[in-house]
A and B are shown apart, each in its own frame.
Chain A
Amino acid sequence: MIQESQQIIKNGLWSNNPALVQLLGLCPLLAVSNTFINGLGLGIATTMVLAGSNGSVSLIRNFIPKEIRIPIFVMMIASFVTNISLLMNAYTYDLFLTLGIFIPLIVTNCAIIGRAESFASKNKFLPSLLDGLMQGLGFTAVLCLLGAARELVGQGTLFYGAEQLFGEWAKSLTLSFYLTDSKFLFAILPPGAFVFLGLIIAWKNSIDAKSEKIKKASKQQSVEQTSEVLLHE
């Protein structure tokens, strides 16, 4: 059980990350990740929907007729999105306005329906819930990283608009690194998102390749050691 959970956590955050490996949900990922706070806001919303839909799909997985499972998943996801959207409208109204159409569009985020189809409809409640949460957190992490990078390069700030998510006190959280008359619009517009996402994916792949190499080397070493031991004997 613990091993299984560890595997789920590792999959969601790293080895099967929805944004970096599955490359799902690119539309919101690329469109709203222009600041850290926008990325975090959409990430949290997506995570909540993902955990909710994964959990509830898993609960009723044995009663869903196979032929019409996709419409049922979509309806369940849509009702969660409606809840989130109303909650954001009530508590983080400014962020709700900033994210705009991308909140209702969470319904069509293929990362969510993908998890419902490939994991929740085949697994028990608790693992499904955990999987939804971890996939969501993995997605959020990438959104935040992308948002931070684009914000920093584009307009020289970090945590701009934090008050939209955390309330008035958070205004002082905004860090300003440099001021410029002409923003670097490329980083803020969608093409910048593509380039930065590409860089993050390359960075992840290079880490994976490096750890693979180390693993291989240590395996080689252990083989040599054993053969040496065998020779000595």
Chain B
Amino acid sequence: MILSSPFAKKPNSVTAVMLWVIAASLPGLAALIYFFGIGVLINISIASITALATEALILRIRKRPISATLMDGSALLTAWLIGLALPPLLPWWMTILGTSFAIVFAKQVYGGLGNNLFNPAMVAYVLLLISFPVEMTAWIPPAELAGQTLSFADTFSYIFTGTSSQGYDINSIRQGVDGFTMATPLDHVKTELSQGYRTQEIKAHEMMTGLSGIGWQWVNLGFLFGGVILLFRKVAAWQIPAGVLLGILGMSLILNVLNPDAYLSPTFHWFAGATMMGAFFIATDPVTASTTKKGRWLFGLGIGIITVLIRTFGGYPDAIAFAVLLMNMTVPMLDYYTQPRTYGHAKTKGVSNE
């Protein structure tokens, strides 16, 4: 098709970027709701209210314009991502604690949007994970395995009181039909491996069917679908998710080839846990990711490699949040050493062309 001039394109505004990210996460959100119940929506609501209120409060203290900053949607997006990442039945005050910490200590203390070194949503997640490891790993089994779906009233009651309306606590619904507590596939793999089972035996369990277990593969496919839309809209830089997925592929392939009995396949790592959400929605945060092409590749690859290493050898079942925060720290250095050559100038090594 032949187009006439002008070819100038309007760049995405901050608000548009934030709204696009939220819209693109809807397929993943739908999968989460389908398999894990309505709790994730309640979490998102709690987180959003907390984020907006905290942001307004801090802006007031800092004597900055309140409504204009709130309208840019960045606080809302942070809250949205926190809500997506948290287990669906997390007690309400933990969501509030994590979200307000993210806004105050990960964002506003650094000077607000654009100045923060660490991804606020992941700071909230890691804060809660290391503080309350039991609650933060208490994922309920996907609806198909649990044999029951939680009603809205029960979900609400679990989040705000810790028990259902009939007085069951969260552990009773985490048990499958056979009475054993169900973990997430990644958690399950970790425990079973430590007890000496081989990966083939572990994968025979009913929750491990499909690419990466019932429910989880669809959540990840949902986020992958939304993420690809983001790439086409040029909201996210494609090098970062490509780097993450490639890093995971490379690292897990090496381990898997060395010993397929002890290490899981790359496809499992790709579609398990928070991989796709992390690769497309978390790592691509334009503020905390690298800004050069080469830097973005390295940033993504680093996240992928660290994720597989921590999942395999570390103490926690999933590692996207840790990997993102660790690579956030390297961003100033990555940007410094990967400055592109300015057209018409000689190559300068390690010096930004300012």
Partner-B contacts on A (CB < 8 A)? 182-187, 189, 191, 195
Contact = CB atoms under 8 A, between A and B. Distances in A.
A91 B252 CA distance: 54
Contact of A195 (B105, B132, B133, B135): B105
A183 B94 CA distance: 12
Interface in B122-143: 127, 130-135
B105 A184 contact: no
A182 B127 contact: no
B1 to A, nearest CB: 55
Contacts of A184: 131-132
A60 to B, nearest CB: 45
Contacts of B131: 182-187
Given A182-B134, A184-B131, A189-B130, 14 more contacts: A182-B131, A182-B132, A183-B131, A184-B132, A185-B130, A185-B131, A185-B132, A185-B133, A186-B127, A186-B130, A186-B131, A187-B131, A191-B130, A195-B105
A219 B154 CA distance: 66
Contacts, number: 18
A191 B135 CA distance: 20
A116 B133 CA distance: 44
Interface in B244-264: none
B7 to A, nearest CB: 48
Interface string B287-316: 000000000000000000000000000000
Interface of B: 105, 127, 130-135
B130 A182 contact: no
Contacts of A185: 130-133
B contacts with A: majority SS: helix
A49 to B, nearest CB: 33
Contacts of B105: 195
Q: Which 6 A-B pairs have the closest CB atoms?
A: A186-B131, A185-B131, A182-B132, A184-B131, A186-B127, A186-B130
A185 B133 CA distance: 9
Nearest to A183: B131
Contacts of B132: 182, 184-185
B163 to A, nearest CB: 13
> Which residue, of B132, B134, B135, has the highest number of chain A Cβ atoms within 10 A?
B132
A191 B134 CA distance: 19
16 contacts: A182-B131, A182-B132, A182-B134, A182-B135, A183-B131, A184-B131, A184-B132, A185-B130, A185-B131, A185-B132, A186-B127, A186-B131, A187-B131, A189-B130, A191-B130, A195-B105
Contacts of A182: 131-132, 134-135
Nearest to A184: B131
Contacts of A195: 105
Contacts of B134: 182
Contacts of B135: 182
Contacts of A183: 131
B103 to A, nearest CB: 14
A186 B131 CA distance: 5
A9 to B, nearest CB: 32
A189 B133 CA distance: 13
Nearest to B132: A182
Contacts of B127: 186
Contacts of A187: 131
A97 to B, nearest CB: 25
A189 B127 CA distance: 11
Nearest to A198: B109
B224 to A, nearest CB: 32
> Which residue, of B127, B133, B134, B135, has the highest number of chain A Cβ atoms within 10 A?
B127
Contacts of B133: 185
